[in-house]
Homo-oligomer: A and B are copies of this chain.
């Protein structure tokens, strides 16, 4: 039974608490904290968790074996570094850090510690369909990969959503996914700006993002964040001899009113609910099994930040922007399966 402390009891934090309390095996939430003490206080007693006044206090709690960070992005660095300092495994919701410099400091702290403690919450690596896609690729059936076409579509985004967020918050999932899918880094980014969707008012949406990978694979990502019809994640890998694509997950097919229709997920919760469960369950099993987390590492979090920065620069300049990364420490040599 893994004792987990949760920093940040907002929407995401509460969802992970629900997950660890009522869905997953081998875990309990023993401690919570939040920048808003009342928020933590309303959650803790209900699940029998100690309410801490700070992340530092929570991390130091001997009843906390591992830490889950769901707080506001800019605070992630502090809490993750704190967990590393305490030698405790830490699951950090994306982003690992809001700047690549902060990400690199976390990487360096973990390297100094000497083994992997950090996992970043990119859930796609745990999605059934993406895993089958990677299996298809790795089987060699379609040959060496040459391109990948992706689309990331949201029905709607809130008013505070800004154009850069299509890269840093939306396409960042694709950025992590393709690094994992192809086992190599992204070397350059371009961002093209198609005709604007008036559903988003003045928001520059959609974007068309081009990622050049170190092995020559060219990835294109459409982000459409106000497309109304639903939440739709698409991906097709073009290989030398064929292609492999995410299928359409259609549990039912309705024939009615002149058409054959299958429902599209309404939002990311519906599409990736199971992936979040798997992500946490595997993380719990890895830690209680005595190993280290096998999911996205601190290096992956850092790399996502670097590529995102390049993407934002590419969006602003209109140019092709090369990605410049630190040298990857040996600690991260193990390729996640």
Contact = CB atoms under 8 A, between A and B. Distances in A.
Question: What is the copy number of this chain in the assembly?
Answer: 4
State which size class the interface on A falls in: 35 or more
A144 B242 contact: no
A217 B195 contact: yes
B246 A248 contact: no
Given A192-B210, A220-B220, A258-B263, A247 B252 contact: yes
A205 to B, nearest CB: 9
Chain A interface mostly helix, strand, loop or mixed?
mixed
Contact of A251 (B128, B144, B261, B264): B128
A245 interface: yes
A316 interface: no
A285 B21 CA distance: 11
A256 interface: yes
A92 interface: no
A222 B259 contact: no
Given A132-B251, A136-B252, A147 B259 contact: no
A57 interface: no
Contacts of A337: none
B232 A248 contact: no
Q: Which of A151, A198, A257 has the most CB of B within 10 A?
A: A257
A259 B261 contact: yes
10 contacts: A22-B26, A133-B251, A136-B252, A143-B199, A143-B228, A193-B218, A195-B216, A206-B238, A227-B240, A243-B256
9 A-B pairs closest in CB distance: A195-B216, A242-B256, A247-B250, A194-B218, A129-B251, A261-B261, A132-B251, A229-B242, A259-B261
Given A132-B263, A247-B252, 20 more contacts: A21-B25, A22-B26, A24-B25, A25-B25, A129-B251, A142-B254, A143-B199, A147-B222, A151-B238, A194-B217, A194-B218, A208-B220, A226-B240, A228-B240, A242-B257, A246-B251, A250-B260, A258-B266, A260-B263, A260-B264
